[in-house]
Amino acid sequence: MAMARKFFVGGNWKCNGTTEDVKKIVATLNAGDVPSTDVVEVVVSPPYVFLPLVQSSLKPNFQVAAQNCWVKKGGAFTGEISAEMLVNLGIPWVIIGHSERRALLKESNEFVGDKVAYALAQGLKVIACVGETLEERESGSTMDVVAAQTKAIADRVTSWENIVLAYEPVWAIGTGKVATPAQAQEVHNELRKWFQANVSSEVASTIRIIYGGSVSGANCKELAAQPDLDGFLVGGASLKAEFIDIIKSAEVKKNA
Ligand code: PGA
């Protein structure tokens, strides 16, 4: 029997937008003819400073996520935002371990794992990101890399219930070079096998594994049809009206 994993579409706005832009995106989302929350869970992630505006103006069928949070309790950490603050504002989700932070801000697997564990312990839900670079893929170490990134999280958490795992090959992010459906399916399936062998068969069958990297209105349906792919984390296209089409690709699963 196929497990019911609700389709999940995240919109990662990254470090983009003005108040005006944000209002326009929210208006587009609110006007969008999207499937019901029984079919798809939609979570958009504006920059911190716009979180209250977006949260208060979005329709309740959409949720919000922060793009990061601090690794432990707040205090003397200039420039950081703590998980407690997100909870205080009623922000339900946080993205942790995005490849841009891993690469540019040198966040290690262990640091990412610590952040995931801390955020979960505060009651946040986490979109945890993993993915290999082009060099790693070409050297044949894709699975070793994503397994090590996933293991650093598994070593620190006791439940995967509030985690969505985003497989985002670095070479596909922001490049227009989307993974083929077969490439994505292969890694998602390997990750599920990894959970089966290293965590539990229950987690292997219930965890949502979403794909990210140059997802667009044009390529989302074919990707969504892959059996081990449970949704998307969308960057560039989440700032555009085509994000609505990507949300609608959840229908592909419903009719599968
Ligand atoms: P992209 O970004 O859709 O612009 O490739 C995806 C991501 O970084 O989450």
pLDDT at 134 (0 to 100): 98
The pLDDT mean for the chain works out to: 97
Testing ligand 1's pocket by substitution, the residue of 129, 220, 234, 246 carrying the most ligand atoms inside 8 A of its CB is 234
Count of beta carbons in the 10 Å neighbourhood of residue 234? 29
- 168 catalytic per annotation: yes
pTM for the structure as a whole: 0.97
Segment 24-53, tens digit of pLDDT: 999 999 999 999 999 999 999 999 999 999
Q: Which of 100, 107, 168, 242 is catalytic?
A: 168
Q: Which of 98, 107, 132, 242 is catalytic?
A: 98
pLDDT at 192 (0 to 100): 98
pLDDT of 145 above 80:
yes
In the chain, where are the structural domains located?
2-30+37-254
- Residues with a CB atom less than 6 Å from ligand 1: 12, 168, 173-174, 212-215, 233-237
Nearest CA to ligand 1 atom 3: 235
pLDDT at 88 (0 to 100): 98
pLDDT of 1 above 50:
no
Q: Is the domain defined by 2-30+37-254 classed in CATH 3.40.640.10?
A: no
